[in-house]
């Protein structure tokens, strides 16, 4: 027997792909217009995001979600897409996007992008062709309907932005459906060609390296083909989560204009496309006040639909007392039996929670810990880590069409979209050398990133410390959750993963209160960034402080 010597090295080991990386992940939402301007036009862009990614990575989050950056006339600031396969020049180029993906991945960050599939801009070539005649190749790509005999709209459906959801088009002599602005016509998902094209859009961005999608208004895709009228809602049922209280949209039970059963088949097709790629995830925005969690349950059941979805329970004005948090979490477990939760306190569409719930500095940090201790995936909105409040935007500076429509009772969404304050010693907060598209809030400058960076007592350092603490305990990431005690003032819960347990107790008041752990051999984990000191006699939770302890069986991941 002879042997032949070779100089070939052994094949490198390929790291196993974690297809479940999204379970318990922390996702940081970036609103690109307001994050960082790199070219001096007053609007944030992709190059600016690249420049600031180290800040995001230093937080310890797992992924970023970027709000729309596609070509758009910007009437709804990117949520009115005119080209799904290109970057709007305002934000940069496709090359910039590829560079962003590469830099994020180098920093260990996954990238989710915001896909707006329910509607396009009226400037989209598809709509221009569709409205040109009743017999063109795309005549049925949008939702067209004849008027009633008296010329009025086909039914009583309302737009979230106010008024009828139908707009008359003199070219086709028909109405078209728009659930949002009149310039945002709804695509017709009953048309197979529309579904096929949108699935190709998803493949396009997956081929460019994205790690998943946040799916805007995911339950609005399919409408009732019979165009039946929505029934009215009784006044006591008019939940204002989906639209502001001043909007008559809340007067209807939206049985037919959205959340149709046929939507599930499209979601299965979309999931099948995502399964062609490694470790992709999806989170759907469910805009549904009456049946939000029931819709989440339907959309996340099994392993062939969405990975996760969220509704508006913690994005509402209702104060999150311990009693309220228990009610929401236990209702979720009771209804969404197969799905995985995705929780957020703030985003680009709602008043920042620091203002919405009138939270003190201590309360902001405590509620950050509450959010990051819940079972589910967590979304943080840019500036949340600085403890930013809602900014006041004068009417003359207002950009949001929603705010302009319902001013002054509803001031729109601009107050949560003002530019990110990077430095204090600049009238634009380091966001831009030019006049920003929205004014920088003066009060935000005192909370600038440069002010809080490496300051031991800052809210920013608290977020970094708590996210790092969370990563040392797998029960806080993927474990089950059990509520032990929940009053308006106190919340106590246990996270459990295979017998490894973490006890989490939160004082939700500005007064000290005693706390008795449940039976068990608990050891306080003093690595948690809180001031609670336990003794053998009793535990006193100081105002807005928390207590974390582990069972003897709990092992740290390091």
Helix ranges (H only) for 247-300 are 263-274, 292-300
DSSP 228: P
DSSP 158: B
What element of type H or E holds 497?
Answer: strand 490-497
Q: Are 123 and 131 in contact (CB under 8 A)?
A: no
- Quote the tokens at residue 121: 């801009």
Q: Are 241 and 309 in contact (CB under 8 A)?
A: no
What SS3 class is residue 468? helix
Kindly name the residue from 76, 80, 216, 313 that is annotated as catalytic. Answer: 216
Catalytic annotation on 294?
no
Count the Cβ atoms, other than its own, within 10 Å of residue 231.
11
Q: Which residues of 10-19 are buried (b: 16+ CB within 10 A; e: fewer)?
A: eeeeeeeeee
Instruction: Print the SS3 string covering 47-68.
Output: HHHHHHHHHHHHHCCCEEEECC
Query: By CB neighbour count within 10 A (0-12 exposed, 13-18 middle, 19+ buried), where does 76 fall?
Result: buried
CA–CA separation, 185 and 122 (whole Å): 6
Residue with tokens 């017709």: 188
Query: By CB neighbour count within 10 A (0-12 exposed, 13-18 middle, 19+ buried), where does 269 fall?
Result: middle
Residue with tokens 């994020």: 104
Q: Are 349 and 402 in contact (CB under 8 A)?
A: no
Kindly name the residue from 276, 304, 425, 480 that is annotated as catalytic. Answer: 276
CA–CA separation, 123 and 128 (whole Å): 7
- Quote the tokens at residue 284: 């759907």
Catalytic annotation on 497?
no
CA–CA separation, 400 and 406 (whole Å): 10
Residues whose CB falls within 8 Å of the CB of residue 292, separated by 6 or more in sequence, listed in order: 241, 286, 311, 312, 313
Query: Which residues, listed in sequence order, are joined to residue 497 by a DSSP beta bridge?
Result: 500
Residues whose CB falls within 8 Å of the CB of residue 29, separated by 6 or more in sequence, listed in order: 64, 65, 67, 347, 348, 379, 380, 381, 382
Which residues are designated catalytic?
216, 276
């Amino acid at each position: 027997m002879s042997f032949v010597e070779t100089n070939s090295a052994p094949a490198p080991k390929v790291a196993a792909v974690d297809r479940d990386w999204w379970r318990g992940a922390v996702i940081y939402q970036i609103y690109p217009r307001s994050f960082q301007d790199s070219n001096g036009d007053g609007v944030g862009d992709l190059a600016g995001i690249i420049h600031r990614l180290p800040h995001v990575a230093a937080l310890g989050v797992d992924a970023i979600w970027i709000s729309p950056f596609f070509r758009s006339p910007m009437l709804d600031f990117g949520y009115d897409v005119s080209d799904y396969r290109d970057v709007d020049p305002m934000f940069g180029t496709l090359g910039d996007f590829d560079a962003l993906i590469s830099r994020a991945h180098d920093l260990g960050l996954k990238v989710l992008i915001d896909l707006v599939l329910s509607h396009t801009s009226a400037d989209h070539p598809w709509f221009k062709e569709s409205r040109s005649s009743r017999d063109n190749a795309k005549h049925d790509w949008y939702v067209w309907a004849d008027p009633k005999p008296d010329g009025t709209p086909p039914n009583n459906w309302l737009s979230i932005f106010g008024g009828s959801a139908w707009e008359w088009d003199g070219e086709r002599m028909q109405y078209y459906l728009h659930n949002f602005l009149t310039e945002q016509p709804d695509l017709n998902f009953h048309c197979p060609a529309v579904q096929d094209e949108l699935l190709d859009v998803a493949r396009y961005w997956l081929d460019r390296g994205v790690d998943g999608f946040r799916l805007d208004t995911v339950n609005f895709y399919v409408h009732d083909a019979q165009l039946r009228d929505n029934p009215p809602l009784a006044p006591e049922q008019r939940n204002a989560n989906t639209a502001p209280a001043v909007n008559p949209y809340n007067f209807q039970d939206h049985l037919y204009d959205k959340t149709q059963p046929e939507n599930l088949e499209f979601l299965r097709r979309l999931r099948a496309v995502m399964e062609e790629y490694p470790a992709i995830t999806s989170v759907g925005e469910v805009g549904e006040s009456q049946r939000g969690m029931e819709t989440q349950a339907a959309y996340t059941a099994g392993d062939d639909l969405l990975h996760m979805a969220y509704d508006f329970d913690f994005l509402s004005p209702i104060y999150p007392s311990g009693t309220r948090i228990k009610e929401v979490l236990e209702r979720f477990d009771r209804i969404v039996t197969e799905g995985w939760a995705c929780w957020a306190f703030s985003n680009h569409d709602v008043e920042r929670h620091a203002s919405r719930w009138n939270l003190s500095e201590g309360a902001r940090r405590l509620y950050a810990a509450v959010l990051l201790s819940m079972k589910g995936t967590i979304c943080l909105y840019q500036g949340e880590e600085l403890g930013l409040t809602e900014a006041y935007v004068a009417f003359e500076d207002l950009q949001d069409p929603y705010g302009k429509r319902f001013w002054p009772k509803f001031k729109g969404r601009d107050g949560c979209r003002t530019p990110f304050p990077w430095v204090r010693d600049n009238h634009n907060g380091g966001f831009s050398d030019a006049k920003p598209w929205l004014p920088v809030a003066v009060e935000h400058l005192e909370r600038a990133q440069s002010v809080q960076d490496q300051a031991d007592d800052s809210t920013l350092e608290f977020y970094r410390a708590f996210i790092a603490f969370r990563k040392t305990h797998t029960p806080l990431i993927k474990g089950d959750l059990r509520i032990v005690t929940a009053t308006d003032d106190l919340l106590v819960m246990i996270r459990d993963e295979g017998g490894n347990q973490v006890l989490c107790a939160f004082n939700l008041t500005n007064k000290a209160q005693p706390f008795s752990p449940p039976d068990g051999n608990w050891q306080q984990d003093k690595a948690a960034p809180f001031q609670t000191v336990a003794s053998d006699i009793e535990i006193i939770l100081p105002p807005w402080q928390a207590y974390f302890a582990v069972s003897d069986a709990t092992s740290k991941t390091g």
